[in-house]
Amino acid sequence: MTTAAILTAVRTPRTVSRQYVAAATFAAFGIVDIVLGTVAHAGDALFTLSLSGSGVQIPAIHAAAAPVCFALGAVSIVLGLVRAADDTPALAVPLSAVLPLSRRVKRVAMAIVVFCLVLSVLCWTGAGNTTALNVVSLFQGAIEASIPLILGAMSGLLCERSGVINIAIEGQLLSGAFAAALIASAFGGLWVGLIAASLAGGLIAALLAVFAITFLVDQIILGVVLNVLALGMTDYLYDRLMAQNPNYNTGITFNAIKIPGLGDIPIIGPIFFDGPVLLYITYGMVILIQVALFRSRWGLRVRAVGEHPTAADTVGIKVLWIRYRNVMLGGLVAGIGGAYLTIGSVGSFNPDISSGLGYIALAAMIFGRWTPLGSVGAALLFGFFEQLAYVMSTLNVPIPPPVLLMTPYVVTIVAVAGLVGRVRAPAADGKPYVKS
């Protein structure tokens, strides 16, 4: 018996089932692509690739909606079959023995399937419409809509890499949004409001740290309770302060900042280098956390505490201090994400303005496998479908508006359940540490 056959024979049913779940999801996405092509209106989809009034104007693209959707669906189905054949015990010669599929290859295949779905949805949306779908504007809105998701995911990442589950991201975003709108309106300073938002998220994080690390309260239940607390407090203060005094909710926002040179690059410039200041803060946060976690002594200690706190304590690392510090840092970051919901976009605060974005950010972190760059990719995917739902509501798409509003949450469920595959959280994630 060959080595490949031996490895196949001892392969656990749980791993095989995950393999088939991923393959079935690929195929299901392909079928969705084909269905979209079947039900698409007759005619081409028209896409514009430049903003009106910008520097370089790129000619519009005409795409035959139905054939493109069929082709993209076929690609996804083929990738699903390849994924199913990889190391399948039922095959005489598993695909892995001929063409090994590394983890990177599997992730690239997943990205291709998602990309095919996105293109199919765009073609279906634009088919037969006389109004062109501005792709640059769509992706620009998607990037900005992803800001609270990215910062929320960074908050969860900082906490869980040190071993503390952060379900309270929703409460941190909501508290930050309220504090930013209130303080910025009351004192007329956007930067003061941004600092207040960060501190408000840090306050929720402080409660999480004290009860989870010191008093060893169940971290999942505690996170849910803190979310309810933040919702109740912001609703109460909104009724008592903002609803009765409009001067505390004036709706001021940061202006868009265009980076000279970079902002003039066709397609890429308006999307990535022409946005609110919070967009550039998000860039900096992601780079800082990526480098700090995987290229610094601090990051090594954080990951050691999240994986094996007893061993870390043995070599002199202060486990509880690192957990406290990371939870607080996560809260400060999430508070900035909450500020985008008010002074970064619409300006004014409304009750429950976060609307579950904290839970989507948590899903993005899991989808991104507890890595900064992976979490950013997942957050961008969810932000894209959120923006797409808004754009589709302005076009003649035969879908009721409430169903369109469900799109980001449905995508979250499908992505985490079917695409994420086998993931491993930090070994000590959610486990209280008591020094012996």
- Tell me how crowded residue 352 is: count the other CB atoms within 10 A of its CB: 13
317 versus 405: the higher-pLDDT residue is: 317
pLDDT at residue 9, as a whole number = 37
125 with 146, same domain: the answer is no
Q: What is the mean pLDDT of residues 154-180?
A: 97
Confidence of residue 12 (pLDDT cuts 50, 70, 90): very low
pLDDT at residue 10, as a whole number = 34
189 with 44, same domain: the answer is no
- Whether 191 is in a domain gets the answer yes
User: pLDDT tens across 42-72, in order?
Assistant: 878 888 887 776 666 778 888 888 899 999 9
177 versus 128: the higher-pLDDT residue is: 177
**Which of 131, 161, 181 is the C-terminal boundary of a domain?**
131
Query: Structural domain tally of the chain?
Result: 2
Contact by Cβ (8 Å): 331, 206: yes
**Alpha helix ranges (H) inside 89-146:** 95-98, 103-126, 135-145
SS3 of residue 425 by DSSP? coil
174 with 63, same domain: the answer is no
How far is C-alpha 253 from the chain's CA centre?
23
Q: What is the mean pLDDT of residues 267-272?
A: 89
- Under DSSP, the state recorded for 264 is G
- Domain region containing 149: 140-419
Look over the chain and give the mean of its residue pLDDT values, rounded to a whole number.
Answer: 86
- Tell me how crowded residue 418 is: count the other CB atoms within 10 A of its CB: 17
Res 5 pLDDT > 50: no
pLDDT at residue 344, as a whole number = 93
81 with 145, same domain: the answer is no
pLDDT at residue 105, as a whole number = 82
pLDDT at residue 94, as a whole number = 52
19 with 106, same domain: the answer is yes
User: pLDDT tens across 360-385, in order?
Assistant: 999 999 988 899 999 999 899 888 88
**Comparing C-alpha atoms, which of 225, 247, 229 is closest to residue 175?**
229
- Whether 244 is in a domain gets the answer yes
78 with 207, same domain: the answer is no
Res 25 pLDDT > 60: yes
233 versus 392: the higher-pLDDT residue is: 233
145 with 122, same domain: the answer is no
Contact by Cβ (8 Å): 122, 45: yes
Contact by Cβ (8 Å): 326, 162: yes
pLDDT at residue 435, as a whole number = 81
99 with 157, same domain: the answer is no
pLDDT at residue 53, as a whole number = 64
pLDDT at residue 400, as a whole number = 76
59 versus 270: the higher-pLDDT residue is: 270
- Whether 250 is in a domain gets the answer yes
pLDDT at residue 194, as a whole number = 97
